[in-house]
């Protein structure tokens, strides 16, 4: 089987390559792997070795011929390429996220790819109540205040149109919660806290009080568990949408226990939003207020479809996934061969 992965050196892409290299170890010669990324990782080190690499930008029209060539003869393409920074340049993000998805779908169609598997997100969903589980049938039209959510909703619309026009191609999408692993600690800290704040964090993060809003309820999953879900979709040539998240659901109470913090009177969500917005506008941190809008409105997903159809279960709890990324963030951990996941202080 020939598998191509866009965004192959990123957080989920690296975990997927790690999984596929494990499949190859069980059945040598069973898979041929193609990696597509803007920057080539160190191909002498696992899991990037033995992969046919194509450095290109999926969002650039000028790279379309190279993208089409990279997908020739491919059975399944897993589209993971996505940008969340610099979020002060929405044109650049749109080019990579939405135009990039359109380009990958066009290239897959022209190359005769048999399956397209796309990384969507819990952030693609429309506003939903937090006190019930939401299945894949919930509308995926995004949350207006979040550029990330809007782009994911546009991506979903492109997938819908592609699936309708190309019935011979299996089209699947995974909608995971927040994807964490220890090796992504440096990247996640840099993207959401900036270059300075993570350096000030202790190796073991403990917070004495936690005044976060009651509505800050979310789901997380370990990158290796997401990778296993991707592999099962590929191996089964599955189609459709799959919610992917580990248990338990992360509530402010659960976060307080995890961080060893004491819960005090929670601040209103709107106050948190204003604080994030002001500090972002002052360039004190890189996270815009749209992320708060999305956190407040995104659903709590029901993952039974993935369990029923794929036989998928998370091997790592959401709590342990968060513990891992916090430890990685505090220590600035990463994966040196990957320009995206480089440890803190390493040249990228």
Rounded mean pLDDT, 305-311: 98
To the question of pTM greater than 0.75 for the whole model, the response is yes
Whether the predicted pLDDT of 194 surpasses 90: no
Domain CATH number, residue 13: 3.40.50.720
Nearest to 325 by CA among 211, 230, 189, 197: 189
Residue 289 confidence (pLDDT): 95
Whether the predicted pLDDT of 348 surpasses 70: no
Rounded mean pLDDT, 261-274: 86
Please say whether the beta carbons of 190 and 348 come within 8 A.
Answer: no
Cα–Cα dist 332/183, whole Å: 9
Residue 326 confidence (pLDDT): 86
Please say whether the beta carbons of 95 and 62 come within 8 A.
Answer: no
> Is pLDDT larger for residue 252 or for residue 211?
252
- The rounded percent of the chain whose pLDDT value lies above 70 is 93
Q: Give DSSP secondary structure letters for 79-91.
A: E-------TT-HH
Please say whether the beta carbons of 118 and 157 come within 8 A.
Answer: no
Q: Is 213 inside a domain boundary?
A: no
Q: Is 9 inside a domain boundary?
A: yes
Q: Is 25 inside a domain boundary?
A: yes
Give me the domain span that covers residue 147: 2-179+221-245+300-315
Quote the tokens at residue 150. Answer: 């809007």
Residue 66 confidence (pLDDT): 97
Rounded mean pLDDT, 8-22: 95
Whether the predicted pLDDT of 200 surpasses 60: no
Whether the predicted pLDDT of 204 surpasses 80: no
Q: List, as own/partner pairs, every contact residues 60-66 make where C-beta atoms lie below 8 angstroms and the sequence separation is at least 24, other chains included.
A: 60/95, 61/103, 64/103, 64/106, 64/107
Whether the predicted pLDDT of 163 surpasses 70: yes
Whether the predicted pLDDT of 202 surpasses 60: no
Whether the predicted pLDDT of 196 surpasses 80: no
Whether the predicted pLDDT of 347 surpasses 70: no
Q: Is 204 inside a domain boundary?
A: no
Residue 205 confidence (pLDDT): 57
DSSP 250: B
Total number of domains in the chain: 1
Sign of the Cα torsion 22, 26, 28, 33 reads negative
Distances, alpha carbon 248 to alpha carbons 135, 319, 342, in Å? 17, 7, 30
Where does the pLDDT of residue 331 fall: very low under 50, low under 70, confident under 90, or very high at 90 and above?
confident
Whether the predicted pLDDT of 305 surpasses 90: yes
**Strand (E) or helix (H) holding 5:** strand 2-6
Whether the predicted pLDDT of 325 surpasses 70: yes
Sign of the Cα torsion 151, 123, 255, 303 reads negative
Q: Is 235 inside a domain boundary?
A: yes
Pick the range with the lowest mean pLDDT from 14-23, 272-281, 339-348. 339-348
Please say whether the beta carbons of 295 and 216 come within 8 A.
Answer: yes
SS3 117: strand
Residue 327 confidence (pLDDT): 85
Residue 206 confidence (pLDDT): 61
Q: Is 234 inside a domain boundary?
A: yes
Where does the pLDDT of residue 184 fall: very low under 50, low under 70, confident under 90, or very high at 90 and above?
confident
Residue 338 confidence (pLDDT): 75
Please say whether the beta carbons of 318 and 247 come within 8 A.
Answer: yes
Q: Give DSSP secondary structure letters for 20-79.
A: HHHHHHHSTTS-EEEEEESS---TTSTTSTT-EEEE--TT-GGGHHHHHHHTTT-SEEEE
**Strand (E) or helix (H) holding 101:** helix 100-111
Q: Is 116 inside a domain boundary?
A: yes
Residue 87: cis peptide before it, omega within 30 degrees of 0: no
Angle between helices 11-26 and 223-236 (to 10 degrees): 60
Where does the pLDDT of residue 261 fall: very low under 50, low under 70, confident under 90, or very high at 90 and above?
confident
Q: Is 210 inside a domain boundary?
A: no
Residue 157 confidence (pLDDT): 98
Rounded mean pLDDT, 321-343: 79
Where does the pLDDT of residue 270 fall: very low under 50, low under 70, confident under 90, or very high at 90 and above?
very high
Please say whether the beta carbons of 122 and 146 come within 8 A.
Answer: no
Whether the predicted pLDDT of 245 surpasses 90: yes
């Amino acid at each position: 089987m020939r598998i191509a992965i866009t965004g192959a050196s990123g957080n989920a892409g690296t975990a997927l390559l790690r999984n596929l290299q494990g499949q190859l170890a069980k059945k040598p010669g069973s898979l041929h792997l193609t990696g597509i990324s803007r920057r080539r990782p160190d191909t002498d080190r696992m899991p990037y070795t033995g992969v046919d690499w194509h450095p290109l930008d999926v969002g650039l029209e000028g790279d379309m011929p190279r993208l089409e060539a990279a997908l020739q003869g491919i059975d399944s393409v897993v589209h993971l390429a996505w940008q969340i920074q610099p979020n002060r340049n929405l044109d650049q993000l749109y080019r990579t996220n939405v135009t990039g998805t359109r380009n990958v779908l066009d290239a897959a169609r022209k190359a005769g790819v048999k399956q397209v598997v796309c990384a969507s997100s819990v952030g693609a969903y429309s506003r939903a109540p937090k006190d019930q589980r939401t299945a894949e049938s919930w509308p995926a039209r995004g949350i207006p205040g979040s550029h990330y959510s809007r782009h994911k909703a546009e991506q979903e619309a492109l997938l819908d149109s592609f699936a309708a026009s190309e019935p011979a191609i299996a089209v699947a999408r995974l909608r995971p919660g927040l994807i964490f692993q220890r090796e992504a600690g440096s990247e996640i800290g840099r993207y959401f806290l900036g270059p300075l704040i993570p350096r000030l964090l202790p190796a073991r993060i403990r917070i004495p009080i936690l005044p976060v809003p009651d509505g800050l309820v979310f789901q997380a999953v370990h990158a290796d568990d997401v990778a296993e879900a991707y592999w099962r979709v590929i191996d089964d040539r599955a189609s459709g949408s799959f919610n992917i998240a580990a248990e338990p659901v992360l509530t402010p109470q659960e976060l307080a226990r995890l961080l060893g913090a004491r819960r005090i009177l929670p601040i209103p969500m709107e106050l948190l939003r204003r604080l994030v917005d002001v500090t972002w506008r002052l360039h004190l941190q890189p996270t815009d207020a749209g992320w708060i809008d999305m956190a407040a409105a995104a659903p709590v997903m029901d993952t039974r479809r993935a369990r029923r159809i794929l036989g998928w279960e998370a091997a790592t709890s959401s709590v342990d996934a968060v513990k891992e990324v916090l430890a990685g963030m505090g220590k600035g951990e990463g994966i040196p061969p990957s320009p995206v996941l480089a440890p803190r202080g390493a040249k990228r």
